Amino acid sequence: MTYVMCIFMVGLVMGLVVVASNPSPYFGALGLVVVSGMGCGMLVGHGAPFLSLILFLIYLGGMLVVFAYSAALAAEPYPETLGSRSVALHVLMYSVAVSLGGAYFWGGWYADSWATADELGEFYVSRGDTMGVAMMYSSGGWMLVVGAWVLLLTLFVVLELSRGLNRGALRAV
């Protein structure tokens, strides 16, 4: 399981390098999907599969909206790909920076002592994330209502700001 978690971490860092080095929104969105998938895979390895599923669905929904918005604004016929010269130079520069940072902090790293959540106990009756979801809905239900109210208020504010001079169906005759 340690090798799988190392693959998730390398994929997470490489996805972040792709996001940071690419000027095209198409490939930036692809890097964000890779980053969210690898991060949620790390959460699964540490014992939070329900949280990972919820976060992955929320990330994909949010990234779908951001990708559609940025693709509509930046409709370039020939976007720069991951193999173009400037993007490859940025990928190389960021990879060297990450490697130097990893080499600097390598002294306290012991991969043999790194165990995931499923390897620590044999007979778990319930998982920690399911108990956390039950606690969130029992004790934090009022926060859910406040969050829904804030999102509704934000929707009305954004609609009011983007409406412009025409009043639509609410204008006075």
Range(s) of the domain holding residue 49 = 1-106
In a domain, 63, yes or no: yes
pLDDT value of position 160:
72
Provide, rounded to the nearest whole percent, the portion of the chain with pLDDT above 70.
71
In a domain, 167, yes or no: no
Model's pTM, two decimal places? 0.62
In a domain, 51, yes or no: yes
Which two three-digit tokens encode residue 11?
A: 């994929």
Averaged pLDDT, 52-63: 80
Averaged pLDDT, 51-71: 77
Judge whether 8 and 35 are in contact, CB under 8 Å: no
In a domain, 173, yes or no: no
Q: What is the CA radius of gyration of the chain?
A: 22
Average pLDDT, the chain: 76
Residue 50 has pLDDT above 60, yes or no: yes
Judge whether 12 and 123 are in contact, CB under 8 Å: no
Instruction: Label residue 80 by pLDDT band (50, 70, 90).
Output: confident
At which residue do the structure tokens 């412009």 appear? 164
Could you give the number of structural domains in the chain?
A: 1
In a domain, 119, yes or no: no
In a domain, 30, yes or no: yes
Judge whether 39 and 12 are in contact, CB under 8 Å: yes
In a domain, 21, yes or no: yes
